[in-house]
């Protein structure tokens, strides 16, 4: 009786495909070298902000996205509800505030790791587990989430620091993601997500001449509306900003000041140096007849008559 032929060797499983999104090129390079050194993981693309992360995720269809929180342009919180419709997302960041941790998980993040609190092997295991739907948290993130939960739900939730999550002009409510048919959801649904472009931030839409049609607004519009409704005796009357004669760049910088950004954050957002930011601020303060950020914001939002004395030299 002839012997049975030997069974063919099983094919090696395809490596897990990962996208790394972080505005720090050193962090991206380090993560890429660490993860790509494992036989079962391949870093297929990198991104410097949330918009790029979404674009490369749609292009490469990764198994996991590693996402930072604070990035210029479109931050991680803004991009998160869009990314989770393409692939599981693991937050990998220096941001440890409880409100940010809670919001990231509410929007669908599959875990939250804070830099400096995990080993290389723990990171690799977290990436593998994120693909399988098992959540990972470092100690600070877990404690921040617990502290936030113990505070109890507020009427609208605490605002995120520094305007995070407000870069996009259209909000996307979180729903159970489909990940291109690999989990619940149809292929048609995933295709609809993948081929629907991610909304641009207000600044990018304005520069491209696109018309804003969404009822939701970006951070600068929100700040403007707050100022309009706060003018004593003049509800709903917008402040007259043309009187100040600010240039287009100065208007952009002033909107970022009103959003609460520091000089360093403004420089990163506008891709200019901090010295250039300070020069813009000096000119803005002169044109707004202001000696501090709070005084300039009060003039810009139309609440100067209600603003108290402001400290000088806050630039």
Read off the pLDDT band of 281 (50, 70, 90): very high
Handedness of CA 216, 220, 223, 224 (dihedral sign): negative
Mean per-residue pLDDT over the chain, rounded: 75
Is 70 exceeded by the pLDDT of residue 203? no
Read off the pLDDT band of 301 (50, 70, 90): confident
Proportion of the chain above pLDDT 70, given as a percent: 67
Proportion of the chain above pLDDT 90, given as a percent: 28
Read off the pLDDT band of 178 (50, 70, 90): low
- How far apart are alpha carbons 11 and 305 in whole angstroms? 73
Give the least confident one: 219-228, 266-275, 281-290: 219-228
Give the least confident one: 109-113, 126-130, 265-269, 289-293: 265-269
Q: pLDDT tens-digit profile of 155-177?
A: 445 667 766 776 654 444 445 55
CA-closest candidate to residue 259, choices 301, 315, 200: 301
Of the CA atoms within 13 Å of residue 169, those in its CB half-sphere come to 18
* Sheet with 64-67: strands ordered across: 41-47, 16-21, 64-67, 89-93, 111-114, 136-137
Q: Considering only residues 234 and 230, tell me which one the structure prediction assigns the higher pLDDT.
A: 234
Cα distances from 202 to residues 209, 263, 286, in angstroms, run 11, 20, 26
Mean pLDDT over 239-262 rounds to 84
Read off the pLDDT band of 218 (50, 70, 90): very low
Phi, psi (degrees; rounded to nearest 5) at 69: -90, -60
Contact between 169 and 205 under an 8 Å Cβ cutoff? The reply is yes
Q: pLDDT tens-digit profile of 181-197?
A: 454 333 444 443 444 45
Q: Considering only residues 232 and 170, tell me which one the structure prediction assigns the higher pLDDT.
A: 170
Position 206 scores a pLDDT of 44
Position 276 scores a pLDDT of 87
């Amino acid at each position: 009786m002839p012997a049975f032929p030997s069974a063919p060797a099983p094919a090696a499983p395809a490596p897990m495909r990962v996208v790394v999104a972080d505005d720090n090129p050193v962090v991206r390079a380090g993560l890429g070298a660490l993860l790509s050194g494992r036989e079962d993981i391949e870093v297929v693309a990198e991104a410097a902000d949330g918009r790029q992360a979404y674009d490369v995720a749609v292009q490469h269809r990764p198994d996991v996205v590693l996402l930072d929180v604070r990035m210029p342009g479109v931050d991680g919180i803004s991009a998160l509800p869009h990314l989770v419709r393409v692939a599981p997302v693991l937050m990998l960041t220096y941001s440890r505030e409880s409100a940010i941790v809670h919001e990231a998980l509410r929007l669908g993040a599959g875990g939250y790791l804070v830099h400096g609190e995990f080993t290389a092997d723990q990171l690799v295991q977290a990436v593998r587990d994120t693909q399988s739907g098992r959540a990972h948290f470092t100690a600070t993130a877990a404690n921040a989430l617990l502290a936030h939960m113990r505070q109890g739900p507020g009427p609208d939730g605490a605002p995120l620091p520094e305007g995070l999550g407000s870069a996009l002009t259209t909000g996307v409510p979180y729903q159970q993601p489909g990940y291109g048919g690999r989990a619940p959801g149809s292929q048609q649904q995933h295709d609809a997500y993948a081929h629907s472009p991610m909304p641009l931030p207000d600044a990018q839409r304005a520069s491209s001449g696109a018309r804003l049609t969404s009822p939701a607004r970006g951070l600068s519009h929100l700040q403007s509306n707050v100022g309009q409704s706060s003018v004593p005796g003049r509800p709903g009357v917008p402040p007259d900003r043309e009187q100040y004669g600010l240039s287009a760049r100065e208007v952009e910088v002033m909107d970022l000041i009103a959003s609460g950004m520091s000089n360093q954050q403004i420089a990163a957002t506008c891709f200019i140096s901090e010295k250039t930011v300070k020069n813009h601020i000096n000119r803005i303060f002169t044109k707004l007849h202001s000696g501090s950020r709070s005084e300039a914001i009060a003039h810009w939002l139309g609440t100067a008559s209600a603003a108290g004395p402001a400290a000088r030299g806050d630039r």
